[in-house]
C-alpha cells in the first residue's frame, strides 16, 4: 500500500511498469490534446474579448475543433448550403505532423518491453480516439460542421503516415528508395556516393523556390501598402477581436501563400476559382473572397514587369548546380569520401553528373506537385471549388527549371574544378571518360610547351645580350 500511494498516478510515458501499451496510448492522447490546445486557446481567447457575442462557449469549441480537423486536411462543411471547405492551413498541418513524428520516434527510442498492442499502434489509437471525439462534437449546428466519417479517416491516415515516418527515422532501417534506384544504373551513369548529393541538391532547390515565393509575397505586401491601396486593412471588420482574428488566420495560411508565390515564380501561377489565372504573363480574376491575403493579388491585365519573376527559379538553381558540380568533381559530400587509388577522391563521369542533376530535378518536381496539391483546396462548390496551383503544372515547371540550370551548371562547375586541379598537376584519377583524359593530357602538354617556349625565349635573350657586349657605362 505504501508503494502504491508513493507512486505517481501518471509517470513518464513508457515507464508505467507492466502497462507500456497504456503509456503509449496516453502519449497519443496527449499529442492530440496539445495540438488541439494550440488551436483552441486563441479561439477561446477571441471569443472572450468579442463584445455582444451571441454564441455560447460550445460554438467556440466547435470552431476550434473544426480548425484542428482542417489542419489535418480533413474536409468540413460551411454555411447552410453545406459548401465544402478543403483548404488546409499548412502551418497547423506542419505542427500536427511534427508532433506525431517526434512522438513516434520517441516511442521507439524508449527502452522496455512492448506488448502486441503497444508501441506505435497504441500511439496512433490514442490520437485517433481524440479525433473521433472532436469530429462528433463538431457535427452539430453551426457555421462550420465536420463530416464525421471522412474527417476521422483523413486524420487517421495522416497520423499513421507521420507516426510511421517517426518510427522509421528512429529505427534507421533499410536504405532510401533513391539509393536503390541509382545503384541499379550502369557505372557510367551511377553517381559516386549514392543519392545523398542528389537529395542535398533537391533540398537546396526547394529551399530556393520557397524563398522566391516568400520574396514575392513580401514584395506584394510592400507594394500594396506603398501604393496607398490598403486593400488588406480595408477588409478588417469591427470590434477589438477582428484584427487579431484576421491576423491569426493570415498567419496560419502564410505557408500556403508562400507556395502560391513559388508557383507564380515558376510560370504556371495559380487560380483563384474557375476561369481565373494569376501568373507572370498576366492576371484574369473574377469576384474574389474578401480576405487580406487575397488583397495581395495583382490587378487584372497583362504581366508587364512581372515577367521579371521568372528570374527567381534561375537563381534557385544555381546552388544545386554548384553542389552537384563539386560533388561530381569529388570535392564535397560522399563523393569526396569515396577514394580511388591512393585514397584520392573519385570524380564522376559526365554522364553520371547529368543523371544526378536530372534525378534532383525529378525529386523537386514531385515535391512541387505534392505541395501544390496540399496548399490548394476549395472554399465552396461551383466556381470556388479549387484555389491554388495546378499540381501537375507546378511539378513540370519546377523540374524543367531545375534541369535547365542544374545540368549545364553542374557540368561547368565540374569542368572548372577538375581543370584547376589539372593545372596544379593532379590528374583526374578515376574519371575514365575519354574526353576527360584527352582534355587533361591536352592541358598538360600545353603547359609543358609554354614552359619550354618561355625557357627558349630567355636563352635567346641572354645570347643576344652576350653578342652585343657589355652595356655602355656613362
Question: What is the per-residue pLDDT across 301-332, written as a single tens digit (0 to 9) for each?
Answer: 887 788 999 999 999 999 999 999 998 887 65
For residue 460, name the pLDDT band (cuts at 50, 70, 90): low
Q: In what order do the strands lie in the sheet with 301-302?
A: 277-279, 282-284, 301-302
For residue 159, name the pLDDT band (cuts at 50, 70, 90): very high
Residue 177 lies in a domain: no
Radius of gyration over every alpha carbon of the chain, rounded to an integer in angstroms:
31
Q: Where are the alpha helices (DSSP H) in 227-297?
A: 231-234, 242-252, 254-266
- Reported as a single tens digit per residue, the pLDDT across 61-96 is 888 999 999 999 998 888 777 788 888 999 999 999
The DSSP letter of residue 75 is: -
Highest-pLDDT range among 28-37, 336-345, 375-384: 28-37
* pLDDT at residue number 134: 94
Of 171, 198, 225, which closes a domain? Answer: 171
Give the mean model confidence (pLDDT) for residues 168-193.
67
Residue environment code for 127-154, b if the CB has 16+ CB neighbours within 10 A, otherwise e: bbebbeebbeebbeebebbbbeeebbeb
Evaluate if residue 37 carries a pLDDT over 90. yes
Q: Give the number of C-alpha atoms closer than 13 A to the C-alpha of residue 77, restricted to the C-beta side.
A: 16
Q: Are residues 309 and 411 in the same domain?
A: yes
The DSSP letter of residue 191 is: P
424 sits in which H/E element: none
* Window from 31-35, 162-166, 430-434, 446-450 with minimum mean pLDDT: 430-434
Spell out the residues 6+ positions from residue 396 whose beta carbon is closer than 8 angstroms to its own.
Answer: 365
Q: Are residues 161 and 223 in the same domain?
A: no
Q: Are residues 411 and 439 in the same domain?
A: no
Give the mean model confidence (pLDDT) for residues 383-405.
92
Q: Are residues 159 and 194 in the same domain?
A: no
> Of 179 and 142, which is predicted with more confidence?
142
Evaluate if residue 469 carries a pLDDT over 80. no
3-state secondary structure of 288: coil
Residue 3 lies in a domain: no
Cα separation, 131 vs 154, whole angstroms = 10
Give the CA angle between residues 26, 68, 74 to the nearest 5°. 105
* Window from 69-78, 448-457, 465-474 with minimum mean pLDDT: 465-474
Residue 474 lies in a domain: no
Cα separation, 114 vs 55, whole angstroms = 46
Q: Are residues 274 and 317 in the same domain?
A: yes
Range of the domain at 462: 433-466
> Of 178 and 346, which is predicted with more confidence?
346
Q: What is the mean pLDDT of the chain?
A: 78
84 sits in which H/E element: strand 83-85
* pLDDT at residue number 105: 87
Residue 237 lies in a domain: yes
For residue 247, name the pLDDT band (cuts at 50, 70, 90): confident
Quick one: 461 exposed, middle or buried, by C-beta within 10 A (0-12, 13-18, 19+)?
A: exposed
Highest-pLDDT range among 44-58, 76-90, 187-201: 76-90
Domain count, the chain: 3
Q: Are residues 19 and 157 in the same domain?
A: yes
Q: Are residues 234 and 142 in the same domain?
A: no
| Neighbour count for residue 52 (Cβ, 10 Å) | 5
> Of 401 and 464, which is predicted with more confidence?
401
Cβ 6 vs Cβ 14: under 8 Å: no
> Of 425 and 45, which is predicted with more confidence?
45
Cα separation, 93 vs 95, whole angstroms = 5
Q: Are residues 258 and 323 in the same domain?
A: yes
Q: Are residues 369 and 243 in the same domain?
A: yes
Residue 178 lies in a domain: no
* pLDDT at residue number 194: 66
* pLDDT at residue number 364: 96
Bridge-based pairing of strands 277-279 and 83-85 is unpaired
- Reported as a single tens digit per residue, the pLDDT across 131-149 is 999 999 998 777 788 889 9
Spell out the residues 6+ positions from residue 301 whose beta carbon is closer than 8 angstroms to its own.
Answer: 282, 283
Residue 453 lies in a domain: yes
Q: Give the number of C-alpha atoms closer than 13 A to the C-alpha of residue 372, restricted to the C-beta side.
A: 28
- In this prediction the pTM is 0.79
Bridge-based pairing of strands 387-388 and 301-302 is unpaired
* Window from 218-222, 241-245, 254-258, 388-392 with minimum mean pLDDT: 241-245
Residue 92 lies in a domain: yes
- Reported as a single tens digit per residue, the pLDDT across 399-426 is 999 999 999 999 999 888 887 665 554 4
Q: Are residues 227 and 251 in the same domain?
A: yes
Q: Are residues 111 and 44 in the same domain?
A: yes
Residue 30 lies in a domain: yes
Spell out the residues 6+ positions from residue 153 whose beta carbon is closer than 8 angstroms to its own.
Answer: none
Q: How far is CA 186 from CA 21, 181, 433, in A?
A: 48, 11, 14
Cα separation, 369 vs 366, whole angstroms = 5
The DSSP letter of residue 199 is: H
Amino acid at each position: 500500500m505504501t508503494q502504491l500511494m508513493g507512486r505517481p498516478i501518471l509517470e513518464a510515458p513508457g515507464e508505467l511498469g507492466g502497462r507500456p501499451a497504456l503509456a503509449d496510448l496516453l502519449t497519443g492522447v496527449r499529442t492530440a490534446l496539445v495540438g488541439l490546445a494550440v488551436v483552441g486557446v486563441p479561439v477561446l481567447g477571441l471569443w472572450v474579448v468579442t463584445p455582444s457575442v451571441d454564441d455560447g462557449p460550445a460554438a467556440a469549441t466547435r470552431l476550434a475543433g473544426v480548425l484542428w480537423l482542417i489542419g489535418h486536411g480533413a474536409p468540413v462543411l460551411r454555411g447552410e448550403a453545406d459548401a465544402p471547405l478543403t483548404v488546409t492551413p499548412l502551418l497547423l498541418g506542419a505542427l500536427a505532423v511534427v508532433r506525431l513524428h517526434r512522438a513516434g520516434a520517441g516511442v521507439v527510442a524508449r527502452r522496455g518491453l512492448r506488448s502486441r498492442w503497444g508501441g506505435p499502434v497504441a500511439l496512433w489509437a490514442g490520437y485517433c480516439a481524440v479525433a473521433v471525439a472532436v469530429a462528433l462534437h463538431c457535427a452539430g449546428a453551426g457555421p462550420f460542421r465536420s463530416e464525421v466519417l471522412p474527417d476521422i479517416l483523413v486524420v487517421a491516415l495522416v497520423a499513421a503516415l507521420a507516426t510511421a515516418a517517426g518510427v522509421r527515422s528512429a529505427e534507421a532501417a533499410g536504405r532510401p528508395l533513391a539509393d536503390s534506384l541509382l545503384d541499379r544504373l550502369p557505372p557510367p551513369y551511377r553517381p559516386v556516393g549514392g543519392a545523398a548529393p542528389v537529395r542535398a541538391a533537391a533540398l537546396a532547390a526547394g529551399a530556393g523556390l520557397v524563398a522566391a515565393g516568400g520574396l514575392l509575397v513580401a514584395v506584394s505586401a510592400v507594394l500594396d501598402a506603398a501604393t496607398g491601396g490598403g486593400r488588406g486593412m480595408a477588409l478588417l471588420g469591427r470590434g477589438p477581436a477582428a484584427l487579431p482574428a484576421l491576423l491569426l488566420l493570415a498567419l496560419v495560411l502564410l505557408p500556403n501563400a508562400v507556395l502560391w508565390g513559388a508557383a507564380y515564380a515558376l510560370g504556371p501561377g495559380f487560380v483563384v476559382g474557375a476561369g481565373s489565372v494569376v501568373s507572370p504573363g498576366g492576371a484574369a480574376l473574377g469576384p474574389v473572397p474578401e480576405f487580406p491575403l487575397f488583397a495581395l493579388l495583382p490587378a487584372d491585365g497583362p504581366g508587364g514587369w512581372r515577367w521579371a519573376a521568372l528570374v527567381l527559379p534561375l537563381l534557385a538553381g544555381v546552388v544545386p548546380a554548384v553542389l552537384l558540380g563539386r560533388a561530381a568533381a569529388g570535392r564535397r559530400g560522399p563523393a569526396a569520401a569515396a577514394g580511388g587509388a591512393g585514397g584520392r577522391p573519385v570524380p564522376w563521369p559526365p554522364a553520371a553528373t547529368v543523371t544526378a542533376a536530372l534525378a534532383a530535378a525529378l525529386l523537386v518536381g514531385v515535391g512541387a506537385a505534392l505541395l501544390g496539391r496540399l496548399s490548394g483546396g476549395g472554399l465552396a462548390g461551383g466556381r470556388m471549388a479549387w484555389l491554388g496551383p495546378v499540381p501537375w503544372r507546378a511539378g513540370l515547371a519546377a523540374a524543367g527549371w531545375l534541369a535547365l540550370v542544374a545540368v549545364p551548371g553542374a557540368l561547368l562547375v565540374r569542368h572548372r574544378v577538375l581543370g584547376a586541379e589539372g593545372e596544379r598537376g593532379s590528374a583526374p584519377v578515376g574519371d575514365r571518360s575519354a574526353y576527360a583524359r584527352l582534355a587533361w593530357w591536352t592541358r598538360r602538354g600545353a603547359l609543358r610547351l609554354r614552359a619550354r617556349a618561355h625557357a627558349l625565349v630567355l636563352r635567346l635573350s641572354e645570347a643576344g645580350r652576350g653578342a652585343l657586349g657589355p652595356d655602355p657605362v656613362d
